[in-house]
Amino acid sequence: MNTITAAITAVGAYVPDFVLTNKVLETMVDTNDEWITTRTGIKERRILKDADKGTSYLAIKAAQDLIAKANIDPLEIDMIIMATATPDMMVASTGVYVATEIGATNAFAYDLQAACSSFLYGMSTAAAYVQSGRYKKVLLIGADKMSSIVDYTDRATCIIFGDGAGAVLFEPNYEGLGLQDEYLRSDGVGRDFLKIPAGGSLIPPSEETVKNRQHNIMQDGKTVFKYAVTNMADASELILQRNNLTNQDVDFLVPHQANKRIIDATAGRLELDDSKVLVNIERYGNTTSGTLPLVLADFEHKLKKGDNVIFAAFGGGFTWGSIYLKWAYDKN
């Protein structure tokens, strides 16, 4: 019996129409375009302005884009993993709602939350389900409405985040393509450095938590940057060593789009040429769970069957890791 590997066979994406540029941010907080660009690499980000639309809207749009491009019947989807740090609401799973709205009524669904590493962890999970032989089509969606948790009076965080979503379909492969190896890690030391303090069981919502802006994302930027640079680079380097890959063997690096300097540090450790590093942070900022699939959607035309692709991410918690995947198709 042929060995089953789990390959990405289709990609979809969606970003809102409204563009929040650095120039606009200059009118909102004490910052400027040069400062933001030199420190983060971000020039603009997309924002979902509709107050009555949440992360599910972004996810549905990305999933529908994939379904239309791949020409698949939603009823054939076996399961949906919804990677997000900004679910529509507590308890009621966003992924379950998305599944119903896109017509994937034969699928079971759930949410996966690992901050900015959510999609990377989701790749591991989706691949495992496919490799088990039990499921043929697993839809992995990464989506976040980060504007819903950003304090736009805090210049340290509001310049970083944007809204967006991407989706990939994992299916069985018998040519040895798809996910080859993974190195995933976490460390609870990061709990205090990147968080939303209130709204959970530890500090339930109250008039005081709202007044103190404790429902907005907060981070110790210098500490997070230090951990991210070290761990993303370490994980990527280890995955290459473990699979006997050199920088010449790597066709593309797909890094989490949090900060251009973190991306550059990871690429530098691997001694990769800039042409092999896929970057779109300048247009979207950090869309958290949406960054990796948005990169795939933007650069799908460059990816060729058999390409060695290295994924890397770092997120709050802390969570991080790297995945080695062989691309499974050429875009028509």
Active site residues: 116, 256, 286
Residues whose CB is less than 8 angstroms from the CB of residue 15 and which lie 6 or more positions away in sequence, other chains included: 46, 162, 163, 164, 165, 284, 287, 294
Q: How far apart are CA 197 and CA 213, in angstroms?
A: 9
Nearest to 240 by CA among 289, 297, 313, 309: 309
Q: How far apart are CA 54 and CA 70, in angstroms?
A: 25
Backbone φ, ψ for residue 25 (5° rounding): -60, -30
Rounded to the nearest 10 degrees, what angle do helices 94-101 and 55-70 cross at? 40
For residue 299, cis peptide bond before it (omega within 30 degrees of 0):
no
